[in-house]
Structure 1
């Protein structure tokens, strides 16, 4: 999921730039003396600094096409954010130096504004230069709810999870050509969909699938119990 969210962010930025939309994204600027074009980095924000938000942040920091401006982390202090970002049991230690300066995370010398706003509108994404925001709290997954991020000055919102309404869903390698730059709310689907859809597309394009059944062997997620406990949402998920 972390990879698909980050790649989708880059795609949304690229399409917005080339489509001539009013959204800056990876803005293309004509050179004054010839037809050469140069690209400036996309101002990025991350709403939610959990498992996905931290890993998307890592990818953004390693991509010259993205310029991380702000992270809204709920209740986590900058010091705890730095600790969580620096060390990851699965992916290892962050490649960048990680420091704290007041309310800023300093990643490889770059200062990134942090906030702890329950309403993402209060972050002030636009004022901070974050045009595109990755919504990774799992809460703002409809146009109505994610509008608060737009109201805070962002221009596009990319959900790191399946949308809970009719927001456009893009799976890289499957249907990214359907994005024309006009939609402000995009979902990168689920991790299962990103694993399954490319295989299904390849088979369907060649042979045509009339009916199918799939089984997913899924890695443990943050909401599943390591030891038996109660789970009202999913009884089986309690063990």
Structure 2
């Protein structure tokens, strides 16, 4: 698994801009916990509308802009303004992470758990191989939206809620609860670019899984999760 130690610098700087956005980030992004918390603050109950947030790929800097008079009524590109504030006169290279009340980064996003130095999926989609006792291996999908996790294609026709609890640099515990009553919990271990987990399901059978980080994708804005 990727392990980068990152930190956050910069506070909110707001300028007028329009709803147009450019400079959206691509590829894997590992955010610090500080950057995640700052984004949550900007998206909280007191948030400004029509906000755009840019971030440096290692979370060393962030910048934000918003349109104080409503989307479409300002003169400057939202992405350019947020990136300019984030880059601090060329000290950093930044890209747009968030725009128009949703994450627009085009790639999987992880958050580095500071206590255990483990990168946890935070926003995106990842393929997972399911191996259930007595059945052939099958494919499923882990979907994570702003840290909330689901598994599609595991049991029944509705997504199952999932949780990861890091307990060290190389693993932790997981739990899955499905709307049809199926549940499973156990332990997982992390390796370069994958997570392996296993546990016993509510049906009494062992279930094992492998999440492939290298095949992660971004989650489309307003995807319903």
- Scaled by the length of structure 1, the TM-score of the pair is 0.25
Q: Which has the higher helix share?
A: 1
- Higher fraction of strand: 2
